[in-house]
């Protein structure tokens, strides 16, 4: 079995320190003055809020933006987004409580929450029914029956959207969850039978469909074509099944250019909004988008102190206080996630201070496995023990996606500017 490492960064160079915004640099250098080696996320809620405003303002009135809490569940980030999104998407009771708390702070009496997940437990479904969420995205016939049984016992009716795994999708992306065999949703050929069953259940009100088929799409034209396809498919299918369509959830999928700083072209929000406005949903139908990564990726930075710089058989390694136990994204996504080196002047007197200068360096973590590699072969002007290595675009699937318990090291801190 071969070890999977991030792709080589060669011939890229590390970003200059001023790529990290001044207020973030200031906060990180403050942390470096403390007694513990730095391993921390710093979030800027204003950046996330700005991204949400940008998307919301580009879209037509019939579209609703529900933040996918799984991307970053730090309470300060969720609260920062709450005034600028129409609601939330959740996948657990913990995420539901975060969303409800943020909505209460905004004095919202409705519950604009949609719920996803391929294996919702009875406790999760019960919490969703009791909260009266906008839609539970039902994944199977069995889940529909569970929802109905819970709702009847609670003396209510639960609104559901049937999650569909379409046979084909007009969209690209690095992570596909539709158009192929999957644990997600009901295969398209089975939809008529499952819908007929759902419409007979006493505790369920079918309002529409959920079709989240791909993620991290950077092409605005194909994302708009996908939205159009979802709306048109949902309208046809609802008519054939004989129920009033009110809800179409197209999932997330809007991508992030992780190497935008090096020239990668970002998603064109204005173009997407222009094309989306040409779609005409049936009257009274809300079209829900569930962006997560797109709203928060660039609001966060992960920084870790270099505990040592080692030279081994002609290669240089910057060893961090932290690694895939704190920031697993580069290994799990098979991407070059470049860094900036933030110099730290403080160093204990009398200790040697190893460094690498004008060299290609591999950035590794503190775990007892060679898989704990975050960045390979990036050229640095200089990196020393005690400096900080900073990863931009760490606001999504960073802290939440890490292997916190492996080896038992302290988890990374989280700070909101």
Burial class (CB in 10 A: 0-12, 13-18, 19+), 56: middle
Give strand ranges (E) for 155-299: 158-165, 175-176, 186-187, 204-210, 214-215, 247-249, 286-289
| Contact by Cβ (8 Å): 71, 396 | yes
Q: Are 64 and 89 in contact (CB under 8 A)?
A: no
Q: How far apart are CA 107 and CA 288, in angstroms?
A: 21
CA distances from 157 to 140, 248, 329 (A): 18, 19, 40
User: DSSP label at 44?
Assistant: -
Do 184 and 116 meet the contact criterion of CB atoms below 8 Å apart? Answer: no
Phi then psi for residue 8, to 5 deg, are -65, 140
Is 356 strand, coil or helix?
strand
Bridge partners for 248 per DSSP: 209, 287
Q: How far is CA 133 from each of CA 94, 144, 258, rounded to the nearest angstrom?
A: 15, 15, 33
- Residue with tokens 């980030």, as numbered in its chain: 77
From the candidates 1, 3, 119, 368, give the one annotated as an active-site residue.
368
| Pair type for strands 186-187 and 214-215 | unpaired
Q: Which two tokens stand for residue 330?
A: 């580069």
Tokens of 172: 């690209």
Does the annotation mark 368 as catalytic?
A: yes
At 258 the three-state DSSP class reads coil
Longest dimension (CA), the chain: 79
> Catalytic site residues?
368
């Amino acid at each position: 079995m071969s070890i999977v490492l991030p792709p080589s960064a060669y011939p890229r160079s590390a970003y200059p320190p001023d790529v990290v915004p001044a207020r973030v640099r200031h906060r990180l250098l403050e942390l470096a003055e403390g007694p513990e080696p730095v391993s921390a996320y710093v979030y800027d809620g204003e950046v996330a809020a700005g991204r949400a405003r940008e998307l919301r303002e580009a879209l037509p009135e019939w579209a609703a933006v529900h933040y996918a809490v799984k991307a970053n569940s730090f309470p300060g980030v969720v609260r920062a987004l709450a005034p600028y999104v129409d609601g939330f998407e959740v996948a657990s009771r913990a995420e539901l409580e975060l969303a409800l708390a943020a909505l209460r702070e905004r004095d919202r009496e409705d519950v604009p929450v949609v719920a996803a997940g391929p294996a919702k437990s009875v406790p999760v479904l019960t919490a969703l029914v009791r909260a009266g969420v906008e839609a539970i995205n039902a994944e199977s016939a069995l889940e529909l029956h569970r929802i109905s049984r819970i709702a009847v016992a609670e003396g209510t009716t639960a609104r559901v959207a049937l999650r569909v795994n379409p046979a084909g999708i007009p969209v690209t992306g690095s992570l596909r969850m539709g158009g192929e065999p999957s644990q997600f949703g009901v295969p398209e050929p089975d939809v008529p039978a499952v819908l007929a069953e759902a419409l007979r259940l006493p505790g369920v009100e079918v309002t529409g469909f959920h079709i989240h088929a791909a993620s991290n799409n950077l092409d605005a034209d194909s994302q708009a074509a996908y939205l159009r396809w979802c709306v048109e498919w949902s309208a046809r299918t609802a008519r054939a099944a004989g129920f009033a369509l009110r809800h179409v959830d197209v999932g997330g999928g809007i991508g992030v250019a992780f190497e935008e700083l090096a020239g990668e072209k970002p998603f064109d929000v204005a173009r997407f909004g222009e094309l989306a406005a040409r779609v005409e949903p049936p009257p009274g139908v809300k079209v829900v988008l569930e962006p997560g990564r797109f709203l928060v990726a660039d609001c966060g930075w992960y920084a870790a102190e270099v505990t040592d710089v080692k030279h081994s058989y002609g290669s240089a390694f910057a060893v961090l206080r932290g690694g895939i136990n704190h920031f697993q994204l580069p290994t799990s996504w098979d991407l070059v996630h470049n860094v900036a080196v933030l110099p730290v002047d403080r160093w204990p007197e009398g200790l040697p201070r190893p460094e690498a200068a004008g060299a290609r360096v591999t950035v590794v973590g503190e775990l007892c496995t060679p898989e704990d590699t975050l960045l390979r072969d990036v050229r640095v002007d200089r990196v020393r023990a005690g400096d900080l290595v900073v990863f931009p675009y760490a606001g999504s699937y960073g802290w939440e996606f890490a292997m916190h318990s492996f080896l038992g090291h302290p988890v990374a801190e989280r700070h909101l500017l």
